[in-house]
Structure 1
Amino acid sequence: MNTNIDLHQLVECVGDAIIVADAHEKIVLWNPAATRVFGYSEEEALGSTLDMIVPDRQKHQHNVGYGHSMETGTTRYGTSLLKVPAKHKDGSKLSIAFTVGMLFDDNHKANGVVAIIRDETARFAEERALKKRLADLENPQP
Structure 2
Amino acid sequence: MNAALDLAQLLDAVGDALVVCDTAGEIAFWNPAAERMFGYSPEEALGRSLDIIIPERQRQRHWDGYHETMRTGVTRYGTSLLRVPAIHKDGHALSIAFTVALLRSADGASTHVASVIRDETERWKEERDLRKRLAEAEARLKEQSQA
The answer for the alignment partner of 1:81 in structure 2 is 81
> How do 1:80-99 and structure 2 match up within 5 A?
80-99=80-99
2:43 corresponds to which letter in structure 1?
E
Asked if residue 14 in structure 1 is aligned to residue 14 in structure 2, the reply is yes
Instruction: Flag the structure with higher helix content.
Output: 2
Question: Which has the larger displacement, 48-57 or 73-82?
Answer: 73-82
Task: State the shift of 1:112 in Å.
Answer: 0.8
* CA distance in 2: counterparts of 1:37 and 1:122, whole angstroms: 13
1:56-113 CA-to-partner distances (Å, cap 9, x unmatched) read 1111111111111111111133310111011111111110011111110111100010
**3-state SS of paired residue (2:76):** coil
Identity %: 56
The ranges of structure 1 where at least 4 consecutive aligned residues each deviate by more than 6 angstroms after the TM superposition are: none
Question: Highest CA radius of gyration, 1 or 2?
Answer: 2
1:110 corresponds to which letter in structure 2?
S
Asked if residue 129 in structure 1 is aligned to residue 132 in structure 2, the reply is no
> How do 1:37-56 and structure 2 match up within 5 A?
37-56=37-56
**3-state SS of paired residue (2:79):** coil
**3-state SS of paired residue (1:65):** helix
**3-state SS of paired residue (2:64):** helix
2:61 corresponds to which letter in structure 1?
Q
The answer for the alignment partner of 1:115 in structure 2 is 115
> How do 1:27-38 and structure 2 match up within 5 A?
27-38=27-38
For the aligned residue pairs, the C-alpha RMSD in angstroms reads: 1.3
The answer for the alignment partner of 2:5 in structure 1 is 5
Task: State the shift of 1:3 in Å.
Answer: 5.0
Which structure 1 segments of 5+ residues have no match?
none
* CA distance in 1: counterparts of 2:9 and 2:103, whole angstroms: 20
2:91 corresponds to which letter in structure 1?
G
1:91 corresponds to which letter in structure 2?
G
TM-score using structure 2 length: 0.92
